[in-house]
Amino acid sequence: MLDENHQRIECRIKGHFRTKGIKTTNPIAIGDHVRFQLQPNENIGVIEHIYERKNYIIRKATKLSKLSHIIASNLDQAIVIVTLAHPRTSTGFIDRFLVTAEAYHIPACIIFNKIDLYQEKLWDLHRNIKSMYEDIGYPCLEISVKTETNIDQVEKLLGQKTTLFAGHSGVGKSALINKLEADINIKIGNISDYHQKGKHTTTFAEMHELSNGGFIVDTPGIKEFGLIDFKIEEVAERFPEMRKYMHECRFNNCTHVHEPGCGVIKALQAGEISLSRYENYLNIISDDYFNEKQYQ
C-alpha cells in the first residue's frame, strides 16, 4: 500500500471483507483504496477498511465457478495497445476489449504502436480502422516506442489517472511501459498484487506508479477479464453505435441477427454501422459462453 506520503507500506488484512453482490476469492485487489493502521514498532500496516470501489474488473475463478476474482479496481480508463504491423492485432480482439470496457463503464482508448513499420498499404488500413473507432467515439493514438513518436501524448493521457493496459503479447506493451518509466523517472519497483500467488497463478496484474501522478495497471491479456453474467441480448448494448439503433427494433429481445424489423440491421445496410464491427458482434454472440449458458 502507499500511504499519504507515497511511502510503500506492507499491509496485512484483519478480519473478513465482503464485496456486495459477488463472491470473491480475493478480499483486496489492485487499485483498492484502504484505511490501515500502522502497527507500533513495526513497519507493517493492518488494513481495517476498504473504501467503496468506483468500479472493478473481475473474472471467474474457474469457468463454471460462482466465485470471482477481482483483477483491479478504481480504474479511470482502459487502454488496449495494438499494432497492425507484426504481430497484427485483429479487430475481433479490439472489439472484445471495447465490449468489456463498456460492460464495466470504463472509458476506453486504443493505442496503435509500431507505426515506424507501417508501409503505405498499412497506413491505408490503419487510417480506415482508426477512423472507424474514432467515429464511434473511442480516442486513438498512433505511436512508435522504437522511434519515440508521440510518447508524450501517452504520458499526457495517463497523468493523474489509473489506467488499465491490455494488449496481446508482442505488441510492445512492456517496451512502452519501460519507455514511460525511464522518461519520467518512475519509482523503482512495482506495487505488485502479492495475493495472486498460489492458487491463481494464471492471473497476474501489476501496478506501476508514474511520477506524473498516474498509475498503470498492467494485465496479461483480455482473457483475464472476461464477461461475467452477461446476457446475449446485452451484448449489442456494449456497441455504442448499435445502442443508438436498438430502440428501432420491432422486438425488444431482438438479437439483431435474423429478426424482421431490426433497426441495427437497417443501420448496417445504410452504412451507419461498420461491417467489421457487426461481424465481430456476431462472433461474440456465437461464443461457447452464451451457448453453454442457454442450456443451464
Please report, as ranges, the residues that interact with ligand GDP according to CB under 6 A. Answer: 113-114, 116-117, 144-146, 167, 169-175
Q: Is 109 in the site for Zn ion (CB under 5 A)?
A: no
Sheet with 10-13, edge to edge strand ranges = 10-13, 44-50, 34-38
Name every residue whose Cβ is closer than 8 Å to that of residue 110 and which is 6 or more positions away in sequence. Answer: 79, 80, 82, 94, 130, 133, 138, 139, 140, 141
Q: Is 216 or 249 the residue whose CB approaches Zn ion more closely?
A: 249
Minimum distance, C-beta of residue 278 to ligand GDP, in the bound complex (Å): 28
- Find the part of the chain contacting Zn ion (CB under 5 A) among 136-144, 147-155, 176-184, 244-252: 244-252
Q: Is 112 or 281 the residue whose CB approaches ligand GDP more closely?
A: 112
Place of cell 506501476: 208
C-alpha atoms less than 13 angstroms from C-alpha of 181 in its C-beta half-sphere: 16
- Map residue 91 onto helix, strand or coil: helix
Amino acid of residue 137: G
| Residue 262 interacting entry, from ligand GDP, Zn ion, none, C-beta within 5 to 8 Å by type | Zn ion
Amino acid of residue 284: I
Q: Is 104 or 278 the residue whose CB approaches Zn ion more closely?
A: 278
Minimum distance, C-beta of residue 165 to ligand GDP, in the bound complex (Å): 9
Minimum distance, C-beta of residue 146 to ligand GDP, in the bound complex (Å): 3
Minimum distance, C-beta of residue 224 to ligand GDP, in the bound complex (Å): 14
Q: Is 254 in the site for Zn ion (CB under 5 A)?
A: yes
Q: Is 264 in the site for Zn ion (CB under 5 A)?
A: yes
Quick one: DSSP state of residue 26?
Answer: -
Cα gap 215→209, rounded to integer Å: 5
Task: Kindly list the residues in this chain that would bind Zn ion in the complex (CB under 5 A).
Answer: 249, 254, 256, 262, 264
